[in-house]
Amino acid sequence: FLYACVCVCVSAGISEMLSSVVEDVSLGVNRNIFGAEVLHELLSAPWLHALLKIYECLLQFERSTPTPLLPYASGLSHEVYVHRPSAEARELYSLLSSPHMQALLSSHDSVAQSDYGPVLPPLPDEMPDGEEAMRIVCLVKNNQPLGATIRRDEETGEIYIARVIHGGLADRSGLLHPGDLLVEVNGNPVVGMEPGQVIQILINSQGTILFKVIPDQVYMRALVDYSPLQDSSIPCPDAGMAFSRGDLLEVVDQSDGRWWQARKLPCAASCAGLIPSASMLKSKQREQWWCQPLEVHTCIRPSGFRQSFRLWRRTSVRRRRQSCTSCSPNSSALSTPYEEVALYQRPPQENHRLIIIIGATRVGVNELRKRLIKLNPSTFQGPVPHTTRPIRAGEQTGREYHFVTKELFEYMVCNHRFVDYGEQKGHLYGTSIDAIDEVLKRGRMCILDVEPHSIQPLRTRKLKPYVIFIKAPGPDRLRHTRRDARVLTNYSVNRAFTDDFVELEEASRLMEAKYKQLFDRTLVNDDLQHACMQLCSIIQEAQDEPQWIPVSWSRTEE
Ligand SMILES: Nc1ncnc2c1ncn2[C@@H]1O[C@H](COP(=O)(O)OP(=O)(O)OP(=O)(O)O)[C@@H](O)[C@H]1O
């Protein structure tokens, strides 16, 4: 009955209603109704009337949301007492100093500073090993559900956060994310448990729930350049982080659809910076594509004879397998500004990764490749090219070339069997995917020398190419190191290497600037002997040590 009375008061007319209820109850007291006296006493209690008055006041503010003028009102009460206070000031001071007023001002300050949330218990003193990778999340249990689902990896028995329900307790904490690995719940290791058992621990928990999780880390390779200082849309340029193509980024927060937080790897700065999300960058790229002047086509080399081991290579620009990928709006760089990557260690039983070496004309790609194969022919090998030219005395099909008819060659072109092909003196020459596979299947490392535009089609899960850019040193070093070098001209004339070394360095710089997002390593071809040794050790590292590769290459299906 008391509850009903209070409810009536609260909902209908507050303290006035209470007074009339008190009157009604007093009639019941006069008539000696059982329990009426106790009820009358309760309803007449001054605290109940005070409470309802407060409630009445609060109701007035239900719709308006008043903001505090000052968050520290209690401090003000002390300022009233000046050096020689007047009688009024002294009186006001003594009023404000009373315990009730002080309590009221302190409550005001707590509300004004929103300082009424639950205080979380301190983190445990003993942090586990690998604490950097581990996140400790403490949630205060209330009557709301946790708002997250879990899943068990059947192979490893590991428990992962599967979904975080928008607006739920876990979501609002901002500390649990899909893909996070759950290690412990309230001190109980959960690896190997059934999801039902983990849920039971959660149900049985009282007060706070302590999770230990290993966050799902996301790494991206930037395929575009970005500078926050030139971006008018960034909310805070000082918090932005510049990056350029090829940089490795650890994305630590993707909760905002427009602005992510990331660190550049290797992590020098511990503080993350703001970078545009993939969708944000895509829309920026689309805007820029339409308003930028047409870029000069730099992908076709100036025609000239390249002193390649296969004389046909790169001598003809009349027939190219495909056009430059960076010159169309549908290029991969335009559609994906970031490429998600993961560390990959080649299992010993798997084929070697394809090694691609590229560089500007005459930088020494072919020289290095030849020397590498000569150094260790049982380990390194080049794919045997196809040609339509007639076989010569001393040649053997499948050794120097695969000698094929023009019809078969063209059939292979139509079926996209060539990585690279061209024409020389009326004969066709090409490197096929099958020739690469053949080398890899024999357990050898396939060393391929192609044009940059041929890299993209080779970027497959099966081949997992590792791209080494051979860079030119400065013109002075080129002049010094190449003084005894000889090159072949278009007419197979052997002449001294007297090219413009400034031009060669410039071509190398342009190629690097344009394609650096595709390079795994850069090697400066200065001293030949030293460069060859370096190349050898880079290739060993690529095969035997963990390397960043696109995540799509590490998944089971392509
Ligand atoms: N580090 C070096 N020191 C001295 N000479 C070098 C060095 N690297 C390459 N050369 C010489 O430079 C000339 C051009 O090298 P190479 O044929 O390998 O160039 P390339 O990059 O394959 O060019 P192309 O595509 O035209 O064949 C060759 O005579 C080669 O021996």
Could you report the per-residue pLDDT of 114-158, keeping only the tens digit for each? 766 656 556 555 655 444 567 788 888 777 788 899 999 888 889
Do 367 and 480 sit in the same domain of this protein?
yes
Residue 363 lies in a domain: yes
DSSP class of residue 388? -
Per-residue pLDDT of the chain (558 residues; tens, 9 = 90+): 445 555 555 555 667 777 788 888 888 888 888 888 888 888 888 888 888 888 888 877 777 777 788 777 877 777 777 677 788 888 888 888 888 998 898 888 888 877 666 565 565 556 554 445 677 888 887 777 888 999 998 888 899 998 888 888 888 777 888 888 999 998 899 988 999 999 888 888 878 888 998 887 889 999 999 999 988 888 888 899 999 999 999 998 887 788 999 999 886 556 789 999 988 888 877 776 555 544 444 333 333 333 343 444 443 333 444 434 343 433 444 468 899 999 998 988 899 999 999 999 989 999 999 999 998 999 999 999 999 999 999 999 999 999 999 999 999 999 999 998 999 889 999 999 999 999 999 999 999 999 998 999 999 999 999 999 999 999 999 999 988 887 766 555 566 776 688 999 999 999 999 999 999 999 999 999 999 999 999 999 999 999 999 988 976 543
What's 281-302 look like in SS3?
A: HHHHHHHHHHHCCCCCCCCCCC
Asked whether residue 393 is assigned to any structural domain, the reply reads no
Measure CA of the first residue to CA of the last residue in the chain; give whole Å.
Answer: 70
Residue with tokens 């200082």: 229
State the pLDDT at residue 491: 57
Query: Which residue of 317, 362, 476, 494 sits with most ligand 1 atoms within 8 Å of its CB, as the best mutation to test the pocket?
Result: 362
If asked whether residues 240 and 276 sit together in one domain, one would say yes
Residue 380 alpha carbon to ligand 1 centre in Å: 19
Q: Give the separation between CA 243 and CA 413, rounded to whole angstroms.
A: 39
Nearest CA residue ID for atom 23, ligand 1: 362
Of 307, 310, 497, best ligand 1 pocket probe by most atoms within 8 Å of the beta carbon: 307
Q: Are residues 456 and 475 in the same domain?
A: yes
**Side-chain half-sphere CA neighbours of 60 within 13 A:** 6
According to the model, what pLDDT value does residue 322 have? 42
**One domain, residues 155 and 168:** yes
In a domain, 340, yes or no: no
Whole-angstrom distance, CA of residue 299 vs CA of residue 326 = 9
- Cα–Cα dist 243/346, whole Å: 29
Q: At 53, which amino acid appears?
A: K
Q: What pLDDT is stored for residue 49 in this prediction?
A: 84
CATH number at residue 488: 3.40.50.300
551 in helix, strand or coil?
A: helix
Domain co-membership, 361 together with 474: yes
Q: What is the DSSP letter of 136?
A: E
The DSSP call for residue 378 is T
Long-range CB pairs of 424-428 (<8 Å, 24+ gap) are 424/311, 424/312, 424/315, 424/316, 427/312, 427/387, 427/388, 427/389, 428/312, 428/386, 428/387, 428/388
In the structure, which protein residues have their CB atom closer than 6 angstroms to any atom of ligand 1?
Answer: 306-308, 314, 359, 361-367, 481-482, 485-487, 497, 525, 528, 531
- Residue that is last in its domain, among 174, 194, 214: 214
Please count the CA atoms within 13 angstroms of the CA of 181 that sit on its side-chain side: 13
Q: What is the CATH number of the domain that holds 161?
A: 2.30.42.10
Task: Indicate which CATH number applies to the domain containing 264.
Answer: 2.30.30.40
Length of the chain: 558
Helix, strand, coil content of the chain in percent (nearest 5): 35, 20, 45
Of 165, 183, 214, which one is at a domain's C-terminal end?
Answer: 214
Closest ligand 1 atom, residue 306 Cα: 26
Q: Are residues 205 and 255 in the same domain?
A: no
- Verify that 206 and 227 share a domain, yes or no: no
SS3 171: helix
- 278 and 367: one domain? no
Task: Classify residue 303: in a domain, yes or no.
Answer: no
Q: Tell me, yes or no, whether 81 lies in a domain.
A: no
438 and 366 belong to one structural domain: yes
pLDDT of residue 327: 39
Residue 367 Cα, ligand 1 centroid: separation in angstroms?
A: 5
Ligand 1 atom at shortest distance from the alpha carbon of 360: 21
* Domain presence at residue 139: yes
Domain membership of residue 175 as a residue range: 135-214
Helix (H, G, I), strand (E, B) or coil at 415: coil
Closest CA to 117 of 140, 137, 138, 136: 140
**Is residue 328 situated within a structural domain?**
no
Residues 375 and 455 reside in one and the same domain: yes
Question: How large is the greatest C-alpha to C-alpha distance in the chain, in angstroms?
Answer: 132
342 C-alpha to ligand 1 centroid (Å): 35
- Residues 469 and 487 grouped into a single domain: yes
423, 312 contact by CB (below 8 A): yes
- Choosing from 214, 237, 265, the residue where a domain stops is 214
Closest among 522, 526, 519 to 548, alpha carbons compared: 519
Do the Cβ atoms of 457 and 325 come closer than 8 Å?
Answer: no
The answer to whether 196 and 318 have CB atoms below 8 angstroms apart is no
Residue 75 lies in a domain: no
Task: Identify the helix (H) or strand (E) that includes residue 162.
Answer: strand 159-164
> Do residue 164 and residue 285 come from a single domain?
no
**Three-state SS for 233?**
coil
Residue nearest atom 2 in ligand 1 by C-alpha distance: 528
Structure tokens at 146: 């946790």
For residue 448, the CA-to-ligand 1 centroid distance in Å is 16
The token duo for 211 is 């999770």
For the chain, the domain total comes to 4
